[in-house]
Amino acid sequence: MRITTWNVNSIKQRVGHLLAFLDEAKPDVVCLQELKCQDDAFPRAEIEAAGYAVETQGQKAYNGVALLVRAPLALSAVRRGLPGDADDVQARYIEAVVGGEDCAPVRVASIYLPNGNPVASEKYPYKLAFLERLRRHARALLADEVPVVLAGDYNVIPEPEDAADPEAWRQDALFLPQTRAAYRTLLAEGYTDALRACDPRNGLYTFWDYQAGCWPRNQGIRIDHLLLSPQAADRLVSASVQRHLRALEKPSDHVPVTIALAD
């Protein structure tokens, strides 16, 4: 099973890139973030025509997450919204069980964590609270002993080697010690950072800002992650970054990250 996560930064602007990627890479599951549209505006017909079933949690103008699954696999037990805060109306979490006749079920989530900037505003406490809710939910999912993949734009730079210029991010919500510590609590629950498990090299980035020539100068950061439960980590075969998509015309500022799990 090939599972991809990709923050498309507006599905309306990037649907052509997405369809080309689906045709080229043929991932079995795609976790999308930052749709920036409501459910009824999502380009469902085009994606279904490409052979994918779709589940979304949209939101007007910002946020929004989706799960796509390629036939003959199917989605079931869909959950919209991260448990733990009934008042949270931001569309940042969707989860489902993916499986089929010849494929053991895997629980997959598409996650768009809050950015958290500016740090002095209410946005940073919300980010930390979201991470704590995610940790609690991630722990609860382990009880079922079904492989779990928590994929998405975490808006977390885990380590200095995950940024081309760590000093530039020292005071940013993505790299503050509290943020990185909260991310490590997810790993401490028994989850594995799939990309790092397969490739420990420096220079693996998934995001390049549109400003200041970051892409041509390779001033990137790694903030898109796939965290695997022990049962999923045991099946991990490979993980890779599709950085070539950042060079497309009018690209997302993020690129896809893909893992392969053995059947």
Residues with catalytic annotation?
A: 112, 153
In 3D, which of 199, 147, 159 has the Cα closest to residue 3?
A: 147
- Contacts made by residues 38-44, CB under 8 angstroms, sequence distance 24+: 38/64, 41/12, 42/11, 42/66, 43/11, 43/12, 43/15
Q: Point out which residues pair with 73 in neighbouring strands.
A: none
> Distance between CA atoms of 36 and 16, rounded to whole angstroms?
16
In 3D, which of 79, 77, 67 has the Cα closest to residue 28?
A: 67
User: Which residues are within 8 A (CB) of 89 and not within 5 positions of it... i.e. 6 or more apart?
Assistant: none
> Distance between CA atoms of 205 and 226, rounded to whole angstroms?
14
How many Cβ atoms are within 10 Å of 128's Cβ, its own excluded? 17
**What are the start-end ranges of the E strands in the chain?**
2-7, 29-33, 52-57, 65-70, 74-80, 93-100, 103-112, 148-153, 192-193, 224-228, 236-241, 257-261
3-state secondary structure of 23: helix
